[in-house]
Structure 1
Amino acid sequence: MSGREGRTWAAYGRVTLVAVCVAAAPLNVTSVEDGRHQVPVTVAAVLCGAALVVPRWRWPAAPLLVTVATAWWGWPLLPLLGIALFDLAVVLRARLAVGCALAALGANLLSYPDTQLWTAQTYASALLVPLLAVIVGLWLGNRRRLMEALASDVEHLRVEAELREEAARAAERSRISTEMHDVLAHRLSLIALHTGVLATRSDTLPAPVVERLGLLRTASVEALADLRDVLGALRDPDVTPSGSALTPAVRDVRELVDEARAAGQRIELTTDGSPGQAPTTHRLAVYRIVQEALTNARKHAEGVEVTVRVDYRPPATLVEVTNPSGTPRADTVGSGYGLIGLRERVTALGGEVTAGPAGAGAWRLAARIQHPTGNAENGART
Structure 2
Amino acid sequence: MRWRNRAGWAVFGRALLVCLLVVGIVVGGEGNNAVVDVAAILCGAALLAPRLPWFLAPLLVTAAAAWWPSLFALLLVALYDMAVRSRARVAVACSVLVVICWLIREPWVGVPWWFAALSMALPLVVAVVVGLWLGSRRRLLEALDNQVQHLKVESDLREAAARDAERSRIATEMHDVLAHRLSLIALHTGVLATRGETLPTDVTERLQLLRTSSTEALADLRDVLGALRDPEATAGAPLTPVLRDVEELVEEARVAGQNVEAGIEGHVGLAPTTHRLAAFRIVQEALTNARKHAAGGNVTVSIDYRPPTTLVTITNTAGTAAPGRVASGYGLVGLRERVAALGGSLRAGPAGAGAWQLTARIPHPTSTEPDGSSS
TM-score (norm 1): 0.51
Q: Distance in 1 between matches of 2:113 and 2:18?
A: 25
Residue of structure 2 equivalent to 1:77: 71
Residue of structure 2 equivalent to 1:135: 129
Letter in 2 for 1:146: L
Q: Distance in 2 between matches of 1:232 and 1:5?
A: 47
Residue of structure 2 equivalent to 1:342: none
Shift of residue 65 of structure 1?
A: 0.5
Within the alignment, does 1:39 sit opposite 2:46 as a pair? no
Of 144, 163, 167, which residue of structure 1 is paired with 2:161?
167
Q: Please show how residues 256-267 of structure 1 align to structure 2 within 5 Å.
A: none
Letter in 1 for 2:151: L
Q: Please show how residues 10-21 of structure 1 align to structure 2 within 5 Å.
A: 10-21=10-21
Q: Please show how residues 141-156 of structure 1 align to structure 2 within 5 Å.
A: 141-156=135-150
* Matched length: 241
Shift of residue 135 of structure 1?
A: 0.9
Residue of structure 1 equivalent to 2:105: 111
Q: Distance in 2 between matches of 1:61 and 1:125?
A: 27
Of 56, 63, 70, which residue of structure 2 is paired with 1:61?
56
Letter in 1 for 2:7: R
1:26–1:76 contact (8 Å) kept in structure 2: no
- CA displacement, residues 131-180 of structure 1 (integer Å, 9 cap, x when unaligned): 11111111111100000000111111122222322333333333333333
Pick closer, same or farther for the CA change 1:177–1:350 going to 2, 3 Å.
farther
1:91–1:141 contact (8 Å) kept in structure 2: yes
Partner of 2:6, secondary structure, is helix
Q: Distance in 2 between matches of 1:227 and 1:314?
A: 21
Q: Which runs of 5+ in 2 are unaligned?
A: 231-325, 338-347, 350-355, 357-375
Shift of residue 127 of structure 1?
A: 0.8
Within the alignment, does 1:48 sit opposite 2:43 as a pair? yes
Q: Distance in 1 between matches of 2:194 and 2:92?
A: 101
Residue of structure 2 equivalent to 1:9: 9
2:95–2:121 contact (8 Å) kept in structure 1: no
Pick closer, same or farther for the CA change 1:187–1:315 going to 2, 3 Å.
closer
- CA displacement, residues 107-126 of structure 1 (integer Å, 9 cap, x when unaligned): 34443669xx9979964442
Letter in 1 for 2:21: C
Residue of structure 2 equivalent to 1:89: 83
Q: Which runs of 5+ in 1 are unaligned?
A: 237-312, 318-346, 352-371, 375-382
Q: Distance in 2 between matches of 1:12 and 1:234?
A: 52
1:177–1:231 contact (8 Å) kept in structure 2: yes
Letter in 2 for 1:51: A
Q: Please show how residues 1-382 of structure 1 align to structure 2 within 5 Å.
A: 2-3=2-3, 5-25=5-25, 30=30, 35=31, 38-57=33-52, 59-73=54-68, 75-111=69-105, 123-199=117-193, 201-206=195-200, 209-210=203-204, 213=207, 216-217=210-211, 220-221=214-215, 224=218, 227-228=221-222, 231=225
1:178–1:232 contact (8 Å) kept in structure 2: no
**Alignment identity in percent?**
56
- CA displacement, residues 236-277 of structure 1 (integer Å, 9 cap, x when unaligned): 9xxxxxxxxxxxxxxxxxxxxxxxxxxxxxxxxxxxxxxxxx
TM-score (norm 2): 0.52
Q: Distance in 2 between matches of 1:29 and 1:125?
A: 23
Q: Cα RMSD over matched residues? A: 4.2
Partner of 2:13, secondary structure, is helix
2:80–2:127 contact (8 Å) kept in structure 1: yes
- CA displacement, residues 21-58 of structure 1 (integer Å, 9 cap, x when unaligned): 3344467764xxxx3x7332222222212211222347
